[in-house]
Amino acid sequence: MLKIEIEFEDLDERLTGFNMGHMTFHGNIGTVTSKNKTPSQAMMILLSISELLSGLRRLTLTKSTQYEFIGADSSFIVYFDKLKNGKISVRSQGQEIIRSDAKNILTSVFRDVNAFLSDVLPNLPKDDLGRKSLLYSLPKYEAFLKEISPNE
């Protein structure tokens, strides 16, 4: 199962949609992180989450065979390769992290994003651009998951 840890870089910083943070992707084959890199691979974490959700939807709903997630304002890259057997391979920095059923990958991403955002979204200012981006992409992703797994 894919597990994504999402965190802010500076917990004392005033919360906005542009705060920098990190993602760590754990799979059954390996782990990759944006943390502790030179140069820094910190990303605007909330905008990156929106991009990740949108990119995975595009990968699944189109004929594309690859989605290249690049953290907003970062050089951190994770590749999602759609395989012919209904699986997705997740890789970064020259190593595969996990290869699993697409549904498992897509559901895991949503679970981990929601866990992180459960404390964050209520504390973002109502007019924040990062908040608005998330409130646009989250329901679209959730509806998309229901379309591919209608009985769950």
Would the CA dihedral through 44, 120, 79, 28 be positive or negative? positive
Q: How confident is the model at residue 149 (pLDDT cuts 50, 70, 90)?
A: confident
- Quote the Cα angle for 150-151-152, to 5°: 95
pLDDT at residue 152, rounded to an integer: 54
Q: How confident is the model at residue 71 (pLDDT cuts 50, 70, 90)?
A: very high
151: exposed, middle or buried (C-beta count within 10 Å: 0-12, 13-18, 19+)? exposed
Q: Output helix, strand, coil percentages for the chain, rounded to the nearest 5.
A: 40, 30, 35
Mean pLDDT value across residues 15-42: 96
Which helix (H) or strand (E) is 32 found in, with range? strand 31-33
Mean pLDDT value across residues 49-58: 97
How far is 66 from 46, CA to CA, in rounded Å? 22
**Token pair for residue 100?**
């699993």
pLDDT at residue 47, rounded to an integer: 96
pLDDT tens profile 82-122: 998 999 999 999 999 999 999 999 999 999 999 999 999 99
Cα 84 to Cα 19, 24, 64: the distances in Å are 37, 26, 12
Q: Is the pLDDT of residue 58 over 60?
A: yes
Describe the strand order of the beta sheet including 66-70 as a list of residue ranges.
66-70, 77-82, 87-92, 95-101
- Which comes out higher in pLDDT, residue 132 or 151? 132
